[in-house]
Amino acid sequence: MSLVGQWRKVSADECALLYPDEIEFRETRFLARKGPEQGFVIWDVGGYEVLGENEVRIQNATDEYVVYELTLDDGTATFVDKDGCRFSYQRVE
């Protein structure tokens, strides 16, 4: 399972406002961009590691590594955080 590439958020849940509108995953690092109406976002730039088929560990804005549930299906990556917030990104071609 590979997250490498550019992604754009397609989720509209209010809890998803904490996560950036766009994110680019490279081999071991990522770079996120917030949307024009967003304030603080929990992911900005940092490292990540796919732990298994349904888990990824991502470095957040406070440099803590946090584990998220991950489902990668047909160009959509869906994450679930520890509070149950579900948000999705569509791969940008």
pLDDT in tens, 32-52: 999 988 889 999 999 999 998
Question: pTM of this prediction?
Answer: 0.92
d(CA 64, CA 35): 23
**Residue whose structure tokens are 């998220």:** 68
Q: What pLDDT, on the 0 to 100 scale, is given for residue 1?
A: 66
Q: What pLDDT, on the 0 to 100 scale, is given for residue 63?
A: 94
Q: What pLDDT, on the 0 to 100 scale, is given for residue 53?
A: 85
Q: What is the mean pLDDT of the chain?
A: 93
Ranges under pLDDT 70 in the chain:
1
Q: What pLDDT, on the 0 to 100 scale, is given for residue 13?
A: 81
**3-class secondary structure, 69:** strand
**Topology of 5-92 in CATH?**
Lipocalin (2.40.128)
d(CA 3, CA 68): 13
